[in-house]
Amino acid sequence: MKKLSGLLFVGCIALTGCEGSTDGDLTPTPPTPDPTPPALAADVCYLMKTTKGDITLAIDLTNMPITGKNFKQYVDKSFYNGTLFHRTVNNFMIQGGGFTTGLKSKPGDAPIKNEAAVGISNKRGTISMARTTVPDSATSQFFINVLDNPDLDASASEFGYAVFGKVVDGMDVADQISIVPTKSSGGFANTPVQEILINSVATTSCPAA
């Protein structure tokens, strides 16, 4: 039940509620996932400095052009600087990119198309887009999987969550973030007791293949 609960909350871009989360939102038929998903490309890499340590991310612009470009555009305008990892669930994922200190919402740009049907799996260390129950609703928020989470993948009956990159260094930092003490209050769940800040996200060299 813990995993199912986590899945439902990842589906909420804002933890205080899910806009448009009615059964009617899921009436479209999910696209069939690619039966032979490609390996993630490392087209551009970013160094994410947090108050818990550094995480290096490789972003796939080749196989995930919409999602990868979306993340890149947020980084290019320094959107993530000063945002929080506002939700952490042990043995599941860590979520960030939508709130500033004091859990103040930071509105993102227009929602993007869900590319989860490309077929890249939510494995440990991958980074994916958070969204509401509306399939094409992701904006700025993302999450890093700390375990393999195949339940979040696209299928014949589920739209899934789009993987667009992976951690190439600093997974130990992500693991530490996932186990910090959390609290629930004011409609927010699994929020770190002590805020975990993303100080900056900047371009860095990708590791040699």
The 10s digit of each residue's pLDDT in 106-125 is 999 999 999 999 999 999 99
The token duo for 78 is 């320094």
Sequential DSSP letters for 180-205: S-EEEETTEEEEESS--EEEEEEEEP
Range among 3-7, 30-34, 152-156 with highest mean pLDDT value: 152-156
The token duo for 128 is 């994916």
- The answer, yes or no, to whether residue 175 has pLDDT greater than 90, is yes
What are the sequence ranges of the domains in the chain?
A: 2-15+41-204
Distance of CA 148 to the CA centre of its chain: 14
Contacts of residues 69-72 at CB distance under 8 Å and 24 or more positions apart, as own/partner, are 70/109, 70/112, 70/129, 70/138, 71/142, 71/164, 71/165, 72/44
Tell me the CA distances in angstroms from 151 to 4, 6, 22, 148, one per residue in order. 9, 11, 20, 9
Instruction: Report the CATH superfamily, name and number, of domain 2-15+41-204.
Output: Cyclophilin-like (2.40.100.10)
Closest CA to 96 of 73, 79, 109: 79
Q: What angle do CA 121, 95, 164 make, to 5 degrees?
A: 35
User: Is the pTM of the predicted complex or chain greater than 0.75?
Assistant: yes
- As a whole number, mean pLDDT of residues 54-59 equals 98
